[in-house]
Amino acid sequence: MATHTITSNPQLITVTGTSNETVNIDAISGTGTVVAEWVSGTAAQFNTLGAVVAASGTLNSTNTKFTLSIQRGDLLNHKGGAGSETYLIYSI
């Protein structure tokens, strides 16, 4: 079961901690490509292939936006640097 489930496009997500969390993007994953856009907090790391690791992509005030390719049924993994980071996620 996912930690977060997307219900609208776009949707604001708040990372609740510094441990790996999952996001179910099936409701908006028509193209298989989503955009994550930094809103606030220190940094959040993302991985579409499994749990967040040291080499995972980072979203922060310098690197504010990136696209992620993810298939319906797969979960997006994220982890906050300090907790309470927020980002906007939407399908393109």
Asked if the 4-91 domain carries CATH number 3.40.50, the reply is no
Greater confidence (6 vs 29) lies with 6
Centroid of chain to Cα 37:
9
Q: Residue 29 and residue 36: Cα distance in Å, rounded?
A: 13
What values do phi and psi take at 27, rounded to 5? -65, -20
pLDDT of 14? 96
Higher pLDDT, 30 or 65: 65
pLDDT of residue 71: 87
| Structure confidence by residue, pLDDT tens digits, 48-58 | 999 999 889 99
Is 77's pLDDT higher than 90? yes
pTM for this predicted structure: 0.92
% pLDDT > 90, the chain: 82
Here the tokens at position 58 are 């980072």
In the block, which residue shows the tokens 């967040």?
Answer: 52
CA distance 25 to 54: 23
Q: In the chain, what are the domain boundaries? A: 4-91
The answer on pLDDT for 21 being more than 90 is: yes
What 3-state DSSP class applies to 8?
coil
Please choose, from the candidates 30, 27, 85, the residue with its C-alpha nearest in 3D space to the C-alpha of residue 52: 85
